[in-house]
Amino acid sequence: MAQYAVLIYERETSADLPPEVLREHERLPERIAEQGGRVVAGMALEPSGTATAIRGSLVTDGPFIETKEALAGVFVIEARDLDHALALARLTPIVSGGVEVRPLVGFHVQEES
């Protein structure tokens, strides 16, 4: 199966997600598995104000660009193909933003021994 990054974008004011949305995020691996996919990893990001950006030799506090929505988290999923990945990504609970699905290149998960 191919691997895809599901990038979750939300308004920064949505950082404190309602408990029911948090529960939906916790259930996402199970819901994706029910649809024939698999969550390889998932994590939330600290607010964009905690970011440090590097552009060439310049290092600055904060994110690269000003936007209404910021990258809030990411899931790495396995899906049969892009259409399947898009269907699985639609299961992601979103408060006020959206998701972006991108194929991963050269990414392999090491099996634990």
Does residue 110 belong to any structural domain of this protein? no
DSSP string, 1-65: -EEEEEEEEEEGGGSS--HHHHHHHHHHHHHHHHTT-EEEEEEE---GGG-EEEETTEEEES-SS
- pLDDT tens digit at each of 113 positions of the chain: 899 999 998 887 655 778 898 899 899 999 999 999 999 999 988 887 787 877 777 777 765 555 677 888 899 999 999 999 999 999 998 888 888 899 988 756 566 66
Q: Which helix (H) or strand (E) holds 82?
A: helix 82-89
CATH number, position 39: 3.30.70.1060
**Residue 80 is part of which domain span?**
2-103
- The whole-number pLDDT of residue 13 equals 64
Does residue 81 belong to any structural domain of this protein? yes
**pTM of the full structure:** 0.78
